[in-house]
Amino acid sequence: MKNFYLALSFTLFCSVQLLSAQQAPVPESGGILSPEQAAFNVQFYDLDLRVNPADSTVSGTVEVTFKVVHPSNVIELALDPRLRIDEITTEEKPLQFTRTDSTKQVYVYFPQTLQPGEKKSISVAYGGKPQVATNPPWGGGMVWSETPSGDPWVGVAVQMNGAWLWWPNKDHPSDRPDSVAINLTMPDNLVVASNGHLRGETDHGDGWKTWHWFVSTPISNYNVTLNAAPYEIISEPYTSTAGDEFDITFWVLPEYMEQAENLFPQFAEQMRFMEEIAGPYPFRGDKYGVAHSPYLGMEHQSIIAYGANFENDNLFGLNAGFDDLHQHELAHEWWGNLVKAWDWRDFWIHEGFGTYMQALYAEYLSGPEAYYEMMELFRSRIHGNTNREVAPRETMSSLEITQGTRGGNVYYKGAWFLHTLRYVIGDENFFKALRRFAYPDPELESVTDGSHMRYVTTDDFLHLTEEITGMDLEWLFEIYLRQPKLPVLHASRRGEHVRLGWEVPEGYSFPMPLQVRIDGETVTLVPQGGVISFEVLDFIEVEADPSNWILKDFRLEGAED
């Protein structure tokens, strides 16, 4: 279809929008980079948008400043075809573009070949009614809601579908602009909170006001957000472990101020824990914000969405004694926003790490029993009967990596992998690996200009842990992340003879050391050829992996499956 459009003859400087079959585009982000995407890297977005809750519309312009990587006369942007494009210009001159009503792709044509290293800016004027989120934050789009008093309450949640649902951009996780200006014009009875720091407000005197937000560090497109309501604000300064002072701010509906004030101290307490585990809060050059949202939550950089009920144990329902929804979204400021998978195939780094932080925080607050209780809950949510690995090697879109059983496993199997890794390499090495994965160079912990932010892969974490420990850990990553089947521990006991054997898919090794409790004393045994065997008196109790550190299935000989 695209080649057909390229073959059409265009009148110079006229913009063309081509329509095809009436069907919605696939609601996903990322995937294989097209040549027209790979040709450029975005450096800066300038959003200047009017958002009208009265008719659920968004309109305005998005300026895209980019650097050319490969020679090309065409670049590819993405925008929901339900939104019209009025014009695309560069240096106030119109550019040709093509699109259809069934795909998100927008192809922008230049009259000459763009040269590598060249810097260009284009402006996209657009508008319309964006997709309404069907089940935020999972079914993405705009969220148009009302406060208890009947005022507008607006949000956005597009992580797994893509920011193209409400503004034009280069849709790929490997491309983060260096900075973003977010200028949002909305009714002046609302307070509008967004990413970064507030540079000012412009009251237009006609019932509308523009809020000027600016993100000073790289940010993923799906993290760009808006939150609007007649908010009241709770804010206090916080001193980071790096010595920097920044504000922790909570935008909350007036009807919930008492609950918000009771919850607010937890934000600083959880922040301190995350800083001690993973290093200083990455976005202290801007702020840490929490916006009361009309949906459950989302890790929007420097202003997470919070839509739980201001009570502890919202997310998992355990008596862990803290707001686990907030702690999960806060954890993403490190796992997902500071360090980011450049392909959705490594999404477990966002969600597995983010989920495991709740278990670590439960351990910090209440001890090992609370930690193990939460890990048991995570274990119950792992899909063992699956043919989908957690971290595939091939490129994935956001839809592909979360399809079916894989969707839950990137969270819970990912978290359990970290639990088992902690057992294999020990606490000292494990917690050093967490911090160095976030900040590979300790000197980066003192910077806030964006140079501390980076892209990561599963192999990056493998190589880091091997470097720290001096151990060969590839077998561990292969079994748990690169293929879908869990190792099976077979146990048999005949008289005084005990046999414990690992079963793994053919072609894989699994030299997993196994703790065995014998008559109340725990010893660690290393399998030989996948098997551990020993003899004890037949009245002595034997228990394998008594603390349940190893992610596995267990088969007792003679027991039914």
Q: What is the DSSP string of 197-254?
A: EEEEEEE-SSSEEEEEEEE-S---GGG--EEEES-EEEEEEEE-TTS-EEEEEEEE-G
Range from 77-81, 332-336, 384-388 carrying the lowest mean pLDDT: 384-388
Beta strands in 1-56 (DSSP E): 40-52
Q: Which residues pair with 87 in a beta bridge?
A: 125
Euclidean distance between the first and final Cα of the chain, in Å?
51
CB 220 within 8 A of CB 337: yes
In whole angstroms, give the CA distance from residue 304 to residue 295.
12
Q: How buried is residue 473: exposed, middle or buried, by Cβ count under 10 Å (0-12/13-18/19+)?
A: middle
In whole angstroms, give the CA distance from residue 491 to residue 501.
7
State whether 477 and 492 are in the same domain: no
In whole angstroms, give the CA distance from residue 410 to residue 175.
22
Domain that holds residue 494: 488-556
Work out whether strand 93-94 and strand 84-90 pair parallel, antiparallel, or are unpaired.
antiparallel
Nearest by Cα to 290 from 319, 243, 253: 253
Predicted confidence (pLDDT) at residue 10 exceeds the cutoff of 60 = no
- Reported as half-sphere exposure (CB side, CA atoms, 13 A), residue 215 has a value of 33
CB 483 within 8 A of CB 389: yes
In whole angstroms, give the CA distance from residue 162 to residue 141.
9
State whether 513 and 381 are in the same domain: no
pLDDT tens for 67-114 read 999 999 999 999 999 999 999 999 999 999 999 999 999 999 999 999
**90: Cβ–Cβ under 8 A, 6 or more apart, which residues?**
110, 120, 121, 122, 123
| Cis bond before residue 218 (omega within 30° of 0) | no
In whole angstroms, give the CA distance from residue 360 to residue 273.
9
Average pLDDT over residues 509-523: 95
Predicted confidence (pLDDT) at residue 5 exceeds the cutoff of 70 = no
Q: Give the angle 509-380-522 at the CA atoms, nearest 5°.
A: 55
The per-residue pLDDT for 538 is 86
State whether 377 and 457 are in the same domain: yes
Q: What is the rounded average pLDDT for all residues in the chain?
A: 94
pLDDT tens for 127-174 read 999 999 999 999 999 999 999 999 999 999 999 999 999 999 999 999
Predicted confidence (pLDDT) at residue 551 exceeds the cutoff of 70 = yes
What token pair was written down for 144? Answer: 């148009």
Indicate the SS3 state at residue 414.
helix
The per-residue pLDDT for 8 is 31
In whole angstroms, give the CA distance from residue 452 to residue 444.
5
pLDDT tens for 401-440 read 999 999 999 999 999 999 999 999 999 999 999 999 999 9
In whole angstroms, give the CA distance from residue 546 to residue 532.
16
Question: Do the domain assignments include residue 59?
Answer: no
Nearest by Cα to 93 from 66, 128, 126, 120: 120
State whether 507 and 403 are in the same domain: no
In whole angstroms, give the CA distance from residue 80 to residue 459.
34
What token pair was written down for 367? Answer: 């001890």
State whether 464 and 343 are in the same domain: yes
Question: Do the domain assignments include residue 351?
Answer: yes
Question: Do the domain assignments include residue 410?
Answer: yes
The per-residue pLDDT for 3 is 37
In whole angstroms, give the CA distance from residue 68 to residue 52.
35
State whether 458 and 409 are in the same domain: yes
- For residue 442, what is the domain's CATH number? 1.10.390.10
What token pair was written down for 453? Answer: 């932010």
State whether 372 and 411 are in the same domain: yes
In whole angstroms, give the CA distance from residue 497 to residue 531.
13
State whether 373 and 492 are in the same domain: no
In whole angstroms, give the CA distance from residue 164 to residue 398.
13
The per-residue pLDDT for 530 is 87
Residue after which a domain boundary falls, among 422, 452, 482: 482
Q: Which residues pair with 108 in a beta bridge?
A: 75, 97
The more confident residue out of 556 and 433 is: 433
The per-residue pLDDT for 558 is 55
Residue after which a domain boundary falls, among 455, 482, 509: 482
State whether 493 and 382 are in the same domain: no
In whole angstroms, give the CA distance from residue 154 to residue 508.
50
Is residue 415 within a helix (H) or strand (E), and if so which, with residue range? Answer: helix 404-425
Q: How many structural domains compose the chain?
A: 2
- For residue 504, what is the domain's CATH number? 2.60.40
Question: Do the domain assignments include residue 7?
Answer: no
pLDDT tens for 344-353 read 999 999 999 9
CB 475 within 8 A of CB 464: no
Q: Give the angle 291-297-301 at the CA atoms, nearest 5°.
A: 65
Predicted confidence (pLDDT) at residue 12 exceeds the cutoff of 80 = no
Q: Would you list the DSSP string of 496-548?
A: TEEEEEEE--TT------EEEEETTEEEEE--BTTEEEEE--TTS-EEESTT-
Work out whether strand 191-194 and strand 226-229 pair parallel, antiparallel, or are unpaired.
antiparallel
State whether 446 and 501 are in the same domain: no
State whether 407 and 517 are in the same domain: no
Predicted confidence (pLDDT) at residue 264 exceeds the cutoff of 50 = yes
**491: Cβ–Cβ under 8 A, 6 or more apart, which residues?**
498, 499, 500, 544, 554, 555, 556, 557
Residue after which a domain boundary falls, among 436, 462, 482: 482
Nearest by Cα to 451 from 178, 174, 172, 247: 178
Question: Do the domain assignments include residue 422?
Answer: yes
The per-residue pLDDT for 23 is 76
**205: Cβ–Cβ under 8 A, 6 or more apart, which residues?**
none
Indicate the SS3 state at residue 315.
coil
Question: Do the domain assignments include residue 147?
Answer: no
Average pLDDT over residues 200-215: 98
In whole angstroms, give the CA distance from residue 271 to residue 240.
9
Largest CA distance in the chain: 91
State whether 405 and 524 are in the same domain: no
Question: Do the domain assignments include residue 54?
Answer: no
Q: How big is the chain, counted in residues?
A: 561
Residue labelled with tokens 């879908």: 484
Question: Do the domain assignments include residue 282?
Answer: no
What token pair was written down for 330? Answer: 């806060």
